[in-house]
Amino acid sequence: MCYVDFMQMWMTFAIIALAIILFASDWIELEVVSLATIASLLIFFHLVPVLDDAGNNLLGPQQLLSGFANTALITILALLVIGQGLHQSGALDGVTQILSTTRGSRARIIIWLCLIGAGIMSAFLNNTPVVVMFIPIVAALANRYGPGAGRLLMPLSFITILGGMMTLVGSSTNLLVAGLIAKSTEMNIGFFDFFVPGMILAMIGSFYVLAIVPLTLNRPTLKIIKHKFRSGVQFLARIELHQHHQLLGEVSHSGMFPSLKGVTIRLIKRGNRIILPPFDDIILQLNDIVQFAGTREQVTELVDIDPQGDHQMLAEAAIAPASRLGGRNIVDEEFTDQTGCFIVGVQRHERMKRDLRDKIRLRPGDVFLIAGTRANIRNLRLDRDLMVLEGSVSTIVSFTKANIALAIFAAVVGSAAFEILPIVVSAILGALAMILYGCLNIGQAARTIDRRIVLLIAASIAMATSLGETGGATFLAEIIVDQLASFGPVVTLSALFLTVAVLTNLLSNNATALLFTPIAIGIATSMGVSPIPFIHAVIFAANCSFASPLGYQTNLLVMGPGNYRFSDFFKAGGPLVILIWITFTIMAPWYYGL
C-alpha cells in the first residue's frame, strides 16, 4: 500500500471515529455532526481523490452524496408516512378504546397480549408508529391494573425492536442493509429471508423482556388525573408575580427563598434582565418571572393552575413523533388558543438547560403538564401531535378513513411479501394513497420525514462508501480474519456479532449496520464461506439497541413517559444484548450449516 492509499484509509478511519464519538456524546446536534462528516469527506477526497484506472474519482460528490437518493432511504420514509397514516386515521383506535374499558384480572392478561401484539405488528410495520399507538393503552392499563407504566413501557420498545428482526420491513436497519447489498453485490434479500433465525431470536428475547425486564425496573411513572404522581420527576415551571402575589417582597437568604424551599430555582426574569443563581440578597418584585424545577406535586402547589373555576383538571401528555411541536419553542398563548388548556410545566427527556422556558426547543418524548377542563383534556386525544397518557378518554374515529388506511397498509405489505412489486415502489404508492384518500394530509406526511434520519443515513452511507473504496473495510476484515481465522467461521461470526451489538448502542443501528455490512462481506469472502450468515449477523446485531436510549428512536420515545434514566436501559437492556448474542452464536452453526 502506497503512502497516499495509506493516508486515505487512515483519514477515513479518523473521520468515522470522530463522528462516532460526537454521535455518542451528544455534544453537538446529530444533524450538524452528519453534515460535518459529509462535508469533511467531500473536502478530503476532493483534495486527495481515490482514482480508478481511467482517472475518475471513486469518492466524488456523486458517490458521497448518493445516500440522499438511496432507495432504502426512500422506502423507509414512505413506510413512515404509511405508519403515520394509520396513526392519523385512528385505524387502531377502536381496538385500544375497547381494551381500555376492560376491568379486573382480564386487564392484566390484555396488557401482556398488547405487548406481544405490538411485537408481531412490528414485523410488518415500522416499530415507531407501533410504539406510538400502544403507549397510551399500555400506560393506562399498567397504571390501573398492572405493575405500573414504568415497568412496561421499556419492554414495549424492546419487544417491537425484537419483532422488527423477523422481516425485511420490520426495521429501517434491515432495509438499509438490503439496499446496500443490492447496490454493491448481485445478492438480494427477500421479505422473509431471515424470518426463521429472526423469529428464534425474537421469541427468546421476548421471554426475557416479558418475564425479567419488568422486575429490573421500578420507575414511578405518569398517572393522569390521579393523586399518585411521579415522585422525583422534575417539571420546568414558572411563576409570574402579579399584584398581591404572596411571593412579592420576599428576600433570598443564603441563595434561597423560604417560600420556595424544596424546588430548584433556575432563573429569575426581571424585564429584559436574567438573574441566575446563586441569588444573594435578591428581593422578588412585581412582574418578576421565577422559573423553577420541581415535582408535579410541588408545581401544582406553587403555580396557579385553576384560574377559571372548579372544573380544571391536570393531565400529562408526551409530544408524538412527527409532531408539528417538534423543534419549536413553547408558545403558551398559542397552545391555549388551540387546545383550551394551558401548559403548567414541561419535562424533558434530556438534560434541562438553564434558559427561559419559552426558548426551549421541544422534541418528541418531552412531556407537558397540562391544566384544562375535562372536556378540553379529552379533546387532546383527537390531537395527533400529543399523546395523553390515559386510555379511558373516548376518541371520535372516522372508521371510513381507518378502514381505507388498513386496506392500503395490507396492500403494501402483501405486494412486498409476495414480490408483486419492489418494496420501494409499493411503499411510495402506499404513501401516495394515504395522502390521496385523506388518511393524512401533506403537512402531516412532511412532518413524518425526520431530517435527523435523512442526514444520519446520508452520512452513514458516505462513511460506508469511503470505508469500502479506500480499502478500510478490507483492512478491518483481514485483521479479524488473521486474529480469528484459526478458530473457524463460527467464532469469527460470533465476534462480529458482539462487536456490532456493542457499537449499535453507542452510535445508532442504521449507521452501525451500514458501516459493518461491507466488513462482513469482506470477512466471509476472505474465509471462503457464504456471506449470508455474516450479513444476517450484522442485521440482527445492529437491531440490538437495548442497552442505551441513543440506539433507537423508540427508546427515546418511552424515556419521558416511563421516567427512565440512561442507566435503566443499561441495566435492563445490557443482559438482553448478551442473551441475543449467545443465542445467535449457538443457533448459527445449526441453521447456516457452518
260 inside domain: yes
Q: Tell me the pLDDT tens digit for each residue of 490-520.
A: 999 999 999 889 888 866 677 778 878 888 8
The most confident of the ranges 146-160, 343-357, 445-459, 545-559 is 146-160
| Residue 231 confidence (pLDDT) | 47
For residue 488, is pLDDT > 90? no
For residue 244, is pLDDT > 60? yes
For residue 549, is pLDDT > 90? no
Q: What integer is the mean pLDDT of 429-455? A: 83
- If you write DSSP's letter for every residue of 136-155 in order, what string do you get? HHHHHHHHHHSS-HHHHHHH
| Residue of higher predicted confidence among 302 and 270 | 270
67 inside domain: no
What does each C-alpha distance from 228 to 51, 172, 292, 302 come to in angstroms?
66, 38, 21, 18
For residue 220, is pLDDT > 70? no
* pLDDT band per the 50, 70, 90 thresholds, residue 229: very low
443 inside domain: no
17 inside domain: no
Rounded-to-integer distance, Cα 75 and Cα 70, Å? 9
Q: What integer is the mean pLDDT of 295-314? A: 66
| Residue 554 confidence (pLDDT) | 79
For residue 82, is pLDDT > 60? yes
257 inside domain: yes
For residue 141, is pLDDT > 90? no
| Residue 230 confidence (pLDDT) | 46
Q: By percentage, how much of the chain surpasses pLDDT 90?
A: 19
253 inside domain: yes
Structural domain count, the chain = 1
| Residue 136 confidence (pLDDT) | 64
279 inside domain: yes
DSSP type of residue 343: E
| Residue 38 confidence (pLDDT) | 93
| Residue 349 confidence (pLDDT) | 67
Q: What integer is the mean pLDDT of 85-101? A: 63
| Residue 537 confidence (pLDDT) | 95
Ramachandran angles phi, psi of 543, nearest 5°: -85, -5
Residue closest to 522 by CA, chosen among 469, 473, 465, 460: 473
- Average pLDDT, whole number, for the chain? 81
Give residue 566's Cα distance to chain centre.
Answer: 14
Q: What order do you get walking across the sheet with 273-275 strand by strand? A: 273-275, 264-270, 289-294, 235-240, 342-347, 367-373, 312-319, 386-388
| Residue 389 confidence (pLDDT) | 67
> Domain limits at 249?
235-388
Q: What integer is the mean pLDDT of 189-194? A: 88
| Residue 589 confidence (pLDDT) | 93
Q: Tell me the pLDDT tens digit for each residue of 465-480.
A: 888 788 886 777 677 7
481 inside domain: no
Q: What integer is the mean pLDDT of 242-259? A: 83
| Residue 481 confidence (pLDDT) | 66
| Residue 305 confidence (pLDDT) | 60
CATH number of the domain residue 242 falls in: 3.30.70.1450
Q: What integer is the mean pLDDT of 384-413? A: 68
Task: Provide Rg for the chain, Cα atoms.
Answer: 26
| Residue 61 confidence (pLDDT) | 92
Angle at 223 between CA 226 and CA 246, to 5 degrees: 60
